[in-house]
Structure 1
Amino acid sequence: MAPSTRTLAAAALLILSQTLPSSAAGTVDVCLQIQDAISSASAVYFPGDLLGNYAADLSHWASSSSQLAACSVEPGTADDVAAIIKILGSTNTSFAVKGGGHTANPGFSSTTGVQITMTRFSGVTYDAASETATIGTGLVWDSVYEALEPFGVNVVGGRVSGVGVAGFTLGGGYSWKTNQFGLTVDSVTEFQLVKPNGDIVTVTPTSEPDLFFGLTGGGNNFGIVTQFTLKTHPQGQVWGGLILYTEDQLPAVSDAIAAFANNVTDPKAAIIPAINFLLGAQTRVSHLMFYDGPTPPSGIFDDFLAIPALLTDVSTRSFLSLVQAAPSNVTTGDRGFFHTVSLVEYTPNIISAIINETKFWGSALTLAGATFISYDIEPFLPTLYTHGAPGVTTAYPPSRTTPGAIPLNLYFAWALPTSDSIIHDALVASAQQLTSVAQGEGQDLSELGLYTNYALYDTPLERIYGANLPRLRQIKASVDPEGVMGLAGGWKF
C-alpha cells in the first residue's frame, strides 16, 4: 500500500530536521491537522516539496525577511482560512500571513511555525454599478492594474512593480493617485475578514465601524483579510517614466526637486527621485515622474527634462507600463531594511542633507557589505489627508487635522547576516539626523506619524499611530481576546 500524505510529510520533516529550527520541526502535527481540515481548494506544503511551492511560499523580496517554516499553507477559500486560524489558535502555534512578500521587516510575514501564503486569493472583480473593484489579498498591484485596464478604470494602489496588495493596503498606502484621492485606505469600502475565532465577516464603516477603523492602517492585528473592495476611478493613458542622472548632475537635480516640491500644485503630477549609492559607485539619481493624463501641462517637469541624463524612459503610456518601468526588485535576494522620516515639506536644505546622508552611508557601510543605499524623496501636496469619506477616520494616519505627513523612504541593502545590527543602527542614526535637520528649520513633526510600511521593525508604536493607539488596543482586545494574532509578527497592539 502506498504511504499516506501524512507519512510522507512526517518523513520529509524527519530528513530535514537538522536544517529546520527545532520550533519548526515540532509544528509538524499542527501542519498535518491543517492538512486534514482544509478543502481541496487549499494545500499544505512541506520542506522537500518537489514542485517548489514551499520555497515560493516562504520567499520574500528581501532575503532577511524569510524564515524556514515547518510547512506552508495556501488557503483557497475563506472557510479554509477560518479552519486554519482556529487550529493555530487552539494549539498556540506561531504563524505568519504573507501577501506579496515585500515587507523589509524580519518576521512580519514569515515564521518558523506555519507560513500562510495568500497567493490563491487572486481574483479581481469590477462592478460598474457601484464603481468598485474587489481584489484578493494574494495579488501584487501589477496584476490588479492589468485586470482593470480593459474597463478603463483604476484604483489607488502601489507605485512600483512587485508590491503586494495586502500589506500595502493594511498599512495605509501612498500612491501616484494620492494627491487626487488620498491614501489607499481612503478608497476601501469593505474588507472580507476572517476573525481570530474563525468568523467570516464583511466589515464596512456602518456594519462594524470600530473594526473598519482598525483595519484601515492597523495591519494584521484583527484577523486575516481575504479581499478588499476599493473605489475605482476612470483611467486613461498617463505620462511619465524613469530618468537616470549621474552624480555631476546632482546640483541641478536638487534644484529641480525643490522647485517641484514647493511650487507644483497640480494634483495629477507626482515624482519620486531616489538618491542612490550602488556598490561603491558614484551617487546617482533614479527619478520617476508621473502625470495622470497623456500630456502634462508645460512647466511642471521641464526642469527635469532639461538636465542631461544617462537614461530616459519617459513617454505617454498605460498606467501599468509606467508602474513596470520602476521595478521594486532591483536588489532581490539581498538583505534589506526600510526606515522613514515624516516631513512637513522638502526644502532645499533637507534635500541637500539627504544627498549628504546617501554619500556618507554609502561609503561608511562598504566594509559592512552594503550593496545599495537609497533615499526616496516623495513630495505630496499638504492636502493629501483630506480625501477620506466624511466622518470616517482611519488608524493611519494618526491625525488628519495637521498637514499630511510627507514620507521619506530610507532603504539599505547588504549581503551578510553579520551586518544586520550595523545596518539597523545606521538607519536609525540617519533618520534621526534628517529629523534633526527638519526640526532645526522649524518643522513641527510631533504629530506626524511614521509610515507603517516604511518604519523599521522596532519603531515604537506611538511614533506610528500616535493618539489612535489606545483605541486600537481596545479594538484588538475586543476582537481577539485570546491573542491569536499575537502569534504572528507585525505591529502588535
Structure 2
Amino acid sequence: MQFLSFLSSISFGMTLLCAVFALLVAFLNSTGQATSSSSCCAALQSALQSQVFNVNTDTYQRSVESYWSLDTQLRPACIVQPRNPQEVSLAVTTLVTTNDQSPQCQFAIRSGGHSAVPGTSNIQGGVTIDLSLLNSTVYHPDKGFASIGPGARWESVYKELKQYDVTVTGGRDATVGVGGLITGGGNSFFAAEHGFGCDNVVNFEIILANGSLINANNSTHADLWKALKGGSGNFGIVTRFDLTTFPHKYFWGGMVEYDGFTTPQQISALVDFTDRIAEDRYASLLPMYRYDSSSDFNRVAVAMHYTKPEAFPSAFQDFYRLPNISSTVRFDHIYNFTREMSPLAGLHHILLTQTFINDARVVQKAIELQNHYISEAKAKAHGNDWTLISLFQPFPAVFGQLAKHKGGNMLGLDDENNHILYLLGYSWDNTADNDLFNSIGYKVFGEVQSYAKELGVDGRYVYLNYAGKGQNPLQSYGEDNAREIARVAKTYDPQGVFQRQVPGGFKISMA
C-alpha cells in the first residue's frame, strides 16, 4: 500500500510538472507572439503613423465592436485603417517584410465584417487591415459604371447612386460590405436579370503581395479578373470595384409575414416559383421559416421584390392566396428595401449553407427538423433571446447561364437544372449557449444533407458568403475551377502570402 501510495505521489508530481511545463511553454509562445505582434505594429506605426490604432484607442474599440457577430469580435494587436490604395500597399509590404524578419506578422483584411466565422475578417493578436475608409462611390455616366471602394456598405452605395437614378447588382442587406460580398459571388435582387454582383465587375483594382497595384479586367490580367469572381481573398486586396450600372428609380416589394400553418402551401409556391423564374426575371423571393423564443411562435417571413415598378405582379400569385399577418409591400427605392432586410447585430451566430435540386421534400424536411429541435433548445438554453431560421433562395439555371454570358466566374453554377439554396441561420444572446446552438445547427444541417443525398437531389455548390466553419466552398466550385483558382493564386502571389500570412477566410490551399 505504501508502494502504491509512493507511485501515486510520483504520478501526481509528474502530472503537476507536466502541467507547469505546458503552462510555461504556452506563456513563452504567447510572449513571443505578443513581442512579434508588437514589432509588426511598431513597423506599421513607423510607416503609416496616425492610421495605426492600438488597443487603448477609441478607434480600435469602435472597430472591434462593429463586427456583426459577437464571435468575430476578436482583438488584434493593432488595427490599420488605410485611406487610399497606396497606404494599403504600404501596409502589405511592411507586414510582409517584417514577417520575413520575424515570422508571426499574420494579418486579416476587413471589408464589412459580416461573416459569422471567427477569423475571416479579424484576427486575435495579429494585425487587422480595416478598409472602412476606402468607402467612396463614384458614378461615371460616360463609362456606364460606378467605382466603389471595398469598405463601403451597400446602403451608402445605393444612397449615392440614387441621385443619378441608377444602381448596381449589389447586396440585399444594407450593412454588408462591398468587398466580401462581390469576391464571394454576390447574390442580388437583380440576379436573375443581370447575374451575380461579381458577373458585373468590369475591373478590379488590386494590391498584390509585393505591394504592386494592378488592374484586372477582360483585356488585362484576364485570368485574375475571372478568378476574383468568387475566388475571395486568395490573390490580394481589392481596393476598387468598377461595377456596371443600369437605370433604377424604384421598384415594388417588401416583407410579408404568415402564420406557420401555411407552410405546406408556402413550400409548394416556392418550388413552383423557382421553376418559373426564367419566365419573369424581375422577381426575387426569399422565404424564411422562423422561430423566436421571445414570441414562442413559428412564422414564415417572405421577402418578395419585383425590380420593375409594377404592383402585385403575377410572379407571386401563389402567395397572394394565403392569409398573411402583416405586409410592408410598397413602391420604394432599393436603399430602403436593403435597410429593411438587415438582420440585428450584437448576437452570436451560426450560418451553414448548401444547394440542392429544386425539390419540395427537402424543404419540408429542413423545416421539420428545425421544429423538432425547438423543444431541446427551450429545455437547455440559458439565454432568453434566440432565433432559429431556415431560409430558402431560388438558384435557377439562369444564374449559371448569365455567368457564362458575362465572361464566366469561378462559382461553377449549374446552368441546366434549377436549384434551391438552403441557409441555416441561428442567433442567440448568451455566450453560455454557444455549444448548444452550434450542436443543434450542425445536427440539423447534417440530417438535411443526408436526406437530400438519399433522394438523389443533393447539390455540389456552397455559397461562400453564407458558408460556415468546416465548410469548403472553393472545393464546391468543381475540380477545374478550384485548380484554376490555385494556379492564379500561385501566379500573382508566388510566395503564398495570402495563404500563410492571412490565415482567415476560405483558402484555396486548403480546398
TM-score normalised according to structure 1 size: 0.88
Structure 2 letter corresponding to 1:135: I
Match of 1:36 among 41, 46, 52: 46
Q: Where do residues 149-168 of structure 1 align in structure 2 (5 Å cutoff)?
A: 149-168=162-181
Give the structure 1 partner of residue 16 of structure 2. none
Within the alignment, does 1:363 sit opposite 2:371 as a pair? no
Instruction: Tell me whether 1:311 sits opposite 2:319 in the alignment.
Output: no
Q: For residue 484 of structure 1, what is the aligned residue in structure 2?
A: 497
Q: 2:56 aligns with which of 48, 58, 68?
A: 48
Q: Distance in 2 between matches of 1:24 and 1:182?
A: 45
The superposition leaves residues 272-318 of structure 1 with CA deviations (integer Å, 9 ceiling, x where unpaired) of 11111112612111211100112146432233234332321111111
Q: Residue 90 of structure 1 aligns to which amino acid in structure 2? A: T
Match of 2:243 among 230, 234, 247: 230
1:203 alignment partner AA: A
Asked if residue 57 in structure 1 is aligned to residue 70 in structure 2, the reply is: no
> Post-superposition shift, 1:250?
2.9
Q: Deviations over 1:347-383 (max 9, x none)?
A: 3322221221221233333424571111111114321
After superposing the two structures, state which structure 1 stretch, 58-67 or 347-356, moved more.
347-356
Match of 1:454? 466
Residue of structure 2 in register with 1:199 after alignment: 212
Partner of 1:142: 155
How far apart are 1:220 and its partner, in Å? 0.8
Q: Say if 2:289 and 2:300, in contact at 8 Å, map to a contact too.
A: yes
**Corresponding residue number in structure 1 for 2:307:** 292
**CA, structure 1 residues 462+177, in 2 after alignment: closer, same or farther (shift >3 Å)?**
closer
| 2:102 corresponds to | none
1:175 Cα deviation after fit: 0.8
Please state if 1:90 is matched with 2:100.
Answer: no
SS of the residue corresponding to residue 491 of structure 1 reads coil
1:414 pairs with 2:428: yes
How far did residue 47 of structure 1 move? 1.2
* Structure 2 letter corresponding to 1:437: Y
Q: Deviations over 1:408-460 (max 9, x none)?
A: 21111234445445444433332332233333444252xx3211111112213
- Which stretch of the first structure deviates more once superposed, 317-326 or 269-278? 317-326
Residues 1:260 and 1:369: Cα distance change in structure 2 (over 3 Å): farther
Aligned counterparts of 1:103 and 1:159: Cα–Cα separation in 2: 15
Q: Relative to 1, partners in 2 of residues 1:404 and 1:99: Cα closer, same or farther, differing over 3 Å?
A: farther
1:343 maps onto 2:353 in alignment: no
The equivalent residue for 2:255 is: 242
> 1:350 is aligned with what amino acid?
V
- What is the alpha-carbon distance in structure 2 between the residues aligned to residue 187 and residue 404 of structure 1? 22
Match of 2:14 in 1: none
CA gap of 1:404–1:163, structure 2 versus 1, over 3 A, is farther
Question: Which residue among 103, 106, 120 is the counterpart of 1:108?
Answer: 120
Structure-2 residue corresponding to 1:324: 339
The answer on whether the counterparts of 1:361 and 1:373 sit within 8 Å (CA) in structure 2 is no
Alpha-carbon RMSD = 2.3
Comparing 221-230 with 201-210, greater Cα deviation is found at: 201-210
- d(CA) in 2 for partners of 1:74, 1:453: 23
Which amino acid is the alignment partner of residue 53 of structure 1? T
- The answer to whether the 8 Å contact 1:45/1:71 transfers is yes
What number of residue pairs does the alignment pair up? 464
- The change in CA–CA distance for 1:425 and 1:473 in structure 2 (over 3 A counts) is farther
> Hey, what's the Cα distance between the residues in 1 that align with 2:494 and 2:44?
23
Percent same amino acid among aligned pairs?
26
Q: Which has the larger radius of gyration?
A: 2
Q: One-letter code of the match for 2:420?
A: I
Residue type at the aligned position of 1:479? Y
Tell me: CA distance 1:24–1:161, structure 2 relative to 1, closer, same or farther (3 Å).
farther
Q: Return closer, same or farther for 1:193/1:491 CA change in 2, 3 Å cut-off.
A: same
Looking at structure 1, the residues matched to 334 and 415 of structure 2 have their Cα atoms a distance apart, in angstroms, of: 32
Say if 1:425 and 1:398 are closer, same or farther in 2 by CA, change over 3 A.
Answer: farther
Extract unaligned runs of 5+ from structure 1: 1-17
Shifted more, 376-385 versus 192-201: the winner is 376-385
Which is helix-richer, 1 or 2? 2
Alpha-carbon separation, structure 2, partners of 1:24 and 1:99: 25
Alpha carbons of structure 1 residues 174 and 404: separation in structure 2 relative to 1, 3 Å: farther
The code of the aligned residue for 1:54 comes to Y
Amino acid at match of 1:407: L
Aligned pair partner of 1:269 in 255, 276, 283: 283
Unaligned ranges ≥5, structure 2:
1-26, 100-104
Structure 1 residue identity aligned to 2:221: E
Task: Judge conservation of contact 2:306–2:313 (CA < 8 Å) in 1.
Answer: no
Q: Given that residues 377 and 407 in structure 1 are in contact (C-alpha distance below 8 angstroms), is that contact kept between their aligned partners in structure 2?
A: yes
Report if the CA contact (8 A) 2:154-2:175 is conserved: yes
- Residue 238 of structure 1 contacts residue 319 of structure 1 at CA under 8 Å; is this kept in 2? yes
- Partner of 1:108, secondary structure, is coil
